[in-house]
Structure 1
């Protein structure tokens, strides 16, 4: 056994031992076999927690064909999945074109069901003209949901349950797990204190709310940039300063994006940021910070570490970019991702939603839609029983 495989198997063993909700699902699936005879195509961050999800689906009879998301694949976990007989493409250090090629390979296996993260699988299935052969699927992210509704409205001839629309995922995973995990990733990567530092949080959705809350809990000062007036009001009522990016750019020392939108921080903001400002992205796609513009605007660029780049601007100011603008929590060195308990809940949502797609597809509408209410209630009750047994 190679050292890489042994490391992957050991890491997955630890994670599996702490995911009680998925253990229940795996036991039920082993008996009910909801995916027997079906292929599930997967495009997902490949790390130990997702490996436990994938083996849970396999326990339900599924044949798994998958690939990792761009920049977050953990090679030891891929080795473990392949050891278990699953067809897995991808590795950590690949380019964007190779990543899309791996997504294409998954679709070429003609999966019956899709487990998507960013709508890459759906996009290629539509483009390749094979979408009508798919029973249905799930989409993990807001970024993917936005893409489905904007770019593929009326073009997806099967149901897609959007996991991020679940209030359970929004509260437990996005606000608390992503919020805490992203702040901890910034601290680990930079080795800097949060206390007293000035943070500009661009986006006040569930992930942005969580980051703002945890930054403040560490003693940081937080200002929020948000276009939605209702979310602006919520940020004000939560005690945060609210303003435009143009107004806050000279004030901030850290700039964090969580919007699911492209190029929300660009040249106009770069020109006003103070010397030493640090930029980090929490969003699924590496496009929220306009890194092309940053490279074009800079006089020179140098690496300060494996995931830290220093940009010297024309006027001599230095701006710092983390993880090349990729998702801070999973693209960084020693990336841990969200907490085990949060992902246990999120992947129970995934598992039961995929079971619904496989066994009762006609009960669902075509195109993107929320997690069925009964699934949310079942999982909420199970998690309360684990966390607060006296409730």
Structure 2
């Protein structure tokens, strides 16, 4: 049987204390979740529910997990990436009377999936996922649980892509909200969160500046747009690579240079992939890169940079800094991979993930979606569902109220005008 994080740590008490300090700091800056926690504590909408979570287990995620637990749920959680867990935060979570945490940093594949199985062993009635690994494991290995699962929520672009493919194949057997696609998540988390946290993590890990460097951004979706914008703001020359003509044109009209990756490979100093797809940077690109380049992935799984091909090319490997692995080419060039090619904003030794305020919005959407599943889950058929617009707006209004920001409302006349097809010029 898989042990909890508290059972595996040498000094769980010290870890819990350190982790609690991080969680409390995050909570102070997450007014949306704090507001929802007060509501959930008073009403206990999740009483009797078992929530299984596979997420990046760090301070902001802990606030979400405890918010759901304080609403009466039994929560079991593990990591969705072997290098993104903060063990002290995981230990602090495990100390909550309604939370069991199996998340541990640096585990191998066997232990990673064993922890996933341990969460499933709690027989969740609701799932909260980041990347869809939990949902996939339930469908593939535990289909007998599906009839008792009300529904789920998916946090990230890659997970939603996988779920839509699963849905198209008729294989998804319970309803899942595509939290990633709703405006309060996508417009802030993906653009500002990924942009700021990826660049910050790279800078802290390497102690290098972006000014005067050429930053190559693989992909110009919401995450790529954020990385490009933030890098440009730090005085970098930004080059974008894309496979979609419209996004390539958008990047061009935003003022960035656009070219194929193999051409960009010859010019870049820092490479950041943001696609959620595989083989964005490949052998042919490694062969023409300059000495000392930095290679980082801000997509999802560690498949965007072809590390097998890079390893085959390398004559030697060593670690010049914690979190950086240098691949030495036969001609002496060194290509530096950050965080083993995993999510750079979460998997480097100094990574903290997205800013707290940004994740408050995303996790606020997660929390109200879980509430919606408990209250109205029977109304949703199996498949991928957009987050109801009124829930997304609710989260925005809570945030604005917390910030002391007032905004206009439509008058009756304006609403009538917008809803009518008869008003002309």
Q: Same fold (TM over 0.5)?
A: yes
- Determine helix, strand or coil for the equivalent of 1:2: helix
Matched, 1:127 2:140: yes
| Secondary structure in structure 2 of the residue aligned to 1:371 | coil
2:67 is aligned to 56
SS in structure 1 opposite 2:315? strand
Partner residue of 2:153?
Answer: 138
Q: Which residue of 2 aligns with 1:68?
A: 79
Bigger Rg, which one = 2
2-structure distance, mates of 1:117, 1:176: 18
Secondary structure of residue in 2 paired with 1:156: coil
Structure 2 matches for 1:79-118, cutoff 5 A?
79-85=91-97, 86-118=99-131
Q: Deviations over 1:329-367 (max 9, x none)?
A: 111122211111111111110000011111101232421
For residues 80-115 of structure 1, the C-alpha deviation after alignment (integer angstroms, 9 at most, x for no partner) is 111113211131121122111111121122110000
Report the alpha carbon displacement of residue 236 of structure 1 after superposing the two structures with TM.
0.8
Q: Does 1:286 find its partner at 2:302?
A: yes
Deviations, residues 47-81 of structure 1 (Å, cap 9, x unaligned): 11111101100111100111112211111011111
> Paired residue for 1:12?
23
Asked if the contact 2:31/2:399 (under 8 Å) is kept, the reply is: no
Deviates more, 1:131-140 or 1:236-245: 131-140
Q: Aligned-pair distance for 1:388?
A: 5.5
* CA deviations over 1:301-333 (Å, ceiling 9, x no partner): 111122001111122221110011011111112
Counterpart CA distance in 2 for 1:375 and 1:170 is 14
> Which 5+ residue runs of structure 1 have no aligned equivalent?
none
Partner of 2:291 in structure 1?
A: 275
CA distance in 2: counterparts of 1:108 and 1:321, whole angstroms = 36
8 Å contact kept, 1:131–1:156: no
Task: Report how far residue 286 of structure 1 moved.
Answer: 1.4
Superposed CA deviations along residues 121-175 of structure 1, whole A, max 9, x for unmatched, are 1101111223233110101011111112224531122110011101121111110
1:211 aligns to 2:227 (yes or no): yes
TM-score under structure 2 normalisation?
A: 0.89
Q: Is the 8 A contact 1:122 1:131 kept in 2?
A: no
Distance 1:124 1:17 in 2: 35
Q: Say which of 162, 176, 199 aligns to 1:160.
A: 176
Quick check: 2:201–2:350 contact (8 Å CA) kept in 1?
Answer: no
Aligned pair partner of 2:344 in 301, 315, 328: 328
Q: Secondary structure at the match of 1:200?
A: strand
Q: Distance in 2 between matches of 1:350 and 1:108?
A: 22
> Residue 304 of structure 1 is aligned with which of 297, 312, 320?
320
Number of residue equivalences: 391
Name stretches of at least 5 consecutive residues in structure 2 with no aligned partner: 1-11, 408-425
Query: 1: CA distance between counterparts of 2:122 and 2:13?
Result: 28
Task: Tell me how far 1:282 sits from its aligned partner.
Answer: 0.5
For 1:368 and 1:390, the matched residues in 2 are separated by 34
Q: Give the TM-score taking structure 1 as reference length.
A: 0.97
Please give the alpha-carbon distance, in whole angstroms, between the structure 1 residues aligned to 2:237 and 2:385.
37
Contact kept? 2:205, 2:322, Cα under 8 Å: no
Contact 1:33 1:60 in 2 (8 A): yes
Equivalent in the alignment of 2:187: 171
Asked if residue 78 in structure 1 is aligned to residue 90 in structure 2, the reply is yes
